Amino acid sequence: MRRLLFLSLVMLLTAAVSPVSSQNLKLNDLEYFETQGVNLLVYSNLFTGGFNDEKNAGIELIHHGVRTAQGGAVRLSNTPEQWDLVPAIPNRTVDPESNTIEAVLRYEDFDFDSRVVVTAKGTGVEISVYLDQPVPSELEGSAGFNLEFLPSQYWGKTYLMDGRLNRFSRYVVGNTVTRPNSEKLKQYKGYITYDDRGTGRFIDPLPLESGRSLLLAPEDPERMVKITSPDADLLLFDGRVLAQNGWYVVRSLLPAGKTGKVLSWTVEPNAIDGWIREPNIGFSQVGYLPSQPKVAVIELDKKDKPLAKASLYKIDADGKATEAFSGNIAAWGDYYKYHYVKFDFSSVHTPGIYYIQYGDFKTNNFIINDNVYDKITDATSDIWIPIHMNHMFVNEAYRVWHGEPFKDGYLQAPPNTDHFDLHRQGPTTDTEYEALELIPGLNIGGFFDAGDFDIETGSNIGVVQNFVQTWEYFKPERDQTFVDQEQRYVDLHRPDGTPDILQFIEHGTMNLVAQAEIIGHMAQTLSNAVLDNYHHLGDAASLTDGLPYNPNLGPYEVAPDGRSSGVKDDMWAFTSRNPGLDLRAATMFAAASRALKGYNDDLSERALQQSKRLLKEATELLADQPEDWSGRARGSANLGTNLQLYISTGEQEYLDNFQELLWPALDDNVSRTILTALHAIPHLDASYKEKLSPYVLKYKEYIDGLEKDNPYGVPIGLGNWAGAGGVVNFGTTICFANKYFPEIIDASHAFKTTNWLFGCHPYHNYSLVAAVGAARPKAVFYGNNRADFSFIPGNVAPGILFRQPDHFENYDDWPFLWGQNEGTIGGNTSYLIFGSAFRNLVK
């Protein structure tokens, strides 16, 4: 036994010094280092000044198709959190002659510059840090070079530090120390960033290991990475000690008092000889109608040789699989990193259970049947939306999703206050309330924005508009939620005799009308004053103590009458007036007043009153703004407001304003404006529809162009928020365009959106809608329960995130990247109206 153990250790250590392959890294035309199976990006994606550390920047390793490391840079923390300072990168130089990429990293707050030089060396790269001036004294012991590794790709695997064998744990473990807050480097723009309740101290993680040679995952050739340093200790940290979204961090401190080349690493990612990425067979996990187009898009490694054919197999009642169809593979071409081919099996109409076979690869099963789309929005409307009702106790069977949040209400945000979620209170409050004065009556109605618990007013405006359109066009009578506004109580899966959609319209309108009436205009946001509260996970009711802050009380002291406390945890109302936002609210109020009439007549009348007032005041305010700003702000918001007010009141002035604004807007951007134009058709005469027809033809040209742009034929977003929202809006527009202009816009284009959402997209083929596409929906999402690596049913992920210069990704084992996994109330209610319009089209 001892001999076997010894031999095993010898083999493991041999693997540590004998990589599986010897393919050298080379600098390619896209300005990153590459060999087959390894892409090493060097500041292709930069840190942002918005949310700072978004885990999407720096030196990044895409290892056998998965981005497993990121954040390589000089950093000021052992385990950086989201709002820690990040370096600006004012200069990046690529030198193909020397196989080198060099970048300047600057911390303006400390007047601290460094240069990071990355040079290809055999199967790896040398990373060197240069200083022209020594590390500033206040950063000594804090500034170091970091590289972060994705925990979900490494937990359960082993690592060796100077030959000492350890294993990465599934759940965070490790030792910490605490030290006084006054010793903490100011990295958070002055925000209160941690809960010092009872201690006045904060946590500092200790390294798991240290040494000069680190080998990650020697037993897994796809994830094996070796890091060595001749001149600095390597420190290995588990960033999850401080935050659930932390990564494993490899770090070396920069030496004090030195200049020139002060630190160097050699990083050698293993590349498997002959590795070819497995085909990603994109198809709809929900399934297909017998009569619809059925085209699988197969994503291939560019070194993979496409096959000539693929097959469709049908699973019979006895469980036996038989070939139902075999067809040719059609080439589409290259799109960024991969090559794409298509498999068309539209000729298969027989209902049943099927899977696709492409060479040695076969998909999970899917269904062809007439009812596959019947329930695609049920989880969103029955579960996700009611769970996100703010200021309510939300129950589901034995589970409480959250108690009643924010009984303490909202305080007036002080002037000249920056907010960590990109909001700002201007030089005045723009209200009658003093700084930190309680604004009564705002803690009613509204919806949590996303994975956090704030009310983003702009999002909530769009949400109510989505609900109203869903109600007015499709009249969904679905009733699966009990809502009692008096008790502030919601119970899932419990009908109460009222269509859920009406109750959602009411709930959203209540908060927005309260803002307009009490503040006098729309708030930017109702959000957290304390960063610790903002990144709170779990029950929203425990985010604050439910008692308004009383400055006359000591910290954490409760008043004798129990009605206030000395805890500075209250939510703030950011109230700087934005007339463009007021215009959007006016649009929504006009629409909501119609939907609520006969259900909640008082709220209906108040909404219409606020719509007219805000339209008048906002128009006057915009007239005083510079022409370029006011023109943009008027734009589609004013267009929609006048349309909704005309529909609600029938008054000619609103119709005239709508017509005046519409045609120039369509000339400027038809794809952005056409949906609003289509919504006007039922309310105008035949000449309007005739005049609109050429613009629909122009929109068809846009649709046809998408077929040439990418293999999926949908508008794919390439920003730092993935593009499912744009795809959903595209699908909704197709549905309404086909409804009114079927001779121009074919219904088949709408199926491109369902295909994309339910699995036919780059990177993987999982459904992007939680619990929809039962064979293989995504397993984890970014929500307020993300620390549990779970999802809230009905959540719609932003989807496939693009990383410059050519990589698409969507993690299904790591929920914490919001740009690809966070469902929002705006996005999910847009999906609700799309699903309703799509089902109507199918009928």
Collapsed DSSP state (helix, strand, coil) of residue 137 = helix
DSSP three-state, residue 782: strand
Closest CA to 531 of 614, 447, 421, 437: 421
For 156, half-sphere exposure in the C-beta direction (CA atoms, 13 angstrom radius) is 4
Integer Cα distance of 549 and 571 in angstroms: 10
Give the CB-side neighbour count of residue 791, counting CA atoms within 13 A.
26
Residue with tokens 């197709």: 734
265 membership: H or E segment, kind and range:
strand 260-269
- Paired strand residues for 342: 297, 330
Task: Give me the phi and psi of 649, to 5 degrees please.
Answer: -115, -25
* Apex 102 CA angle, 98 and 108, nearest 5: 165
d(CA 285, CA 366): 6
Q: DSSP label at 749?
A: G
Q: How far apart are CA 829 and CA 794, in angstroms?
A: 10
- Nearest one of 363, 468, 300, 372 to 751, comparing CA atoms: 372
- Interstrand relation of 393-396 and 489-492 (parallel, antiparallel or unpaired): parallel
Inter-residue contact 811 to 397 (CB < 8 Å): no
Catalytic residues: 813, 822
Q: At what angle do helices 750-757 and 724-740 cross, to 10 degrees?
A: 150
Displacement of CA 39 from its chain's centroid (Å): 24
Query: What's at 296, amino acid-wise?
Result: A
Q: Which of 149, 91, 372 is nearest to 267 (CA)?
A: 149
Give the C-alpha distances (Å, rounded to integers) separating 787 from 241, 248, 545: 13, 16, 22
Collapsing DSSP to helix, strand or coil, 439 comes out as: strand
The three state secondary structure string of 650-690 is: CCHHHHHHHHHHHHHHHHHCHHHHHHHHHHCHHHCCHHHHH
State the number of CA atoms in the 13 A half-sphere of 125 facing the CB: 29
Burial of 175 (0-12, 13-18, 19+ CB in 10 A): exposed
Q: How far apart are CA 371 and CA 393, in angstroms?
A: 35
Q: What does R_g of the chain's alpha carbons equal in angstroms?
A: 28
Contacts of 154 (CB under 8 A, 6+ apart): 68, 168, 216, 217, 223, 248
Query: Position of tokens 């704030």?
Result: 454
Show the tokens assigned to 710: 């990418």
Q: How many CB atoms lie within 10 A of CB 589?
A: 31
**Token pair belonging to 315:** 């699973």
Preceding omega of 805 cis (within 30 degrees of 0): yes
Distance (Å, whole) CA 460 – CA 456: 6
Give the integer Cα–Cα distance in Å for 389 and 392: 6
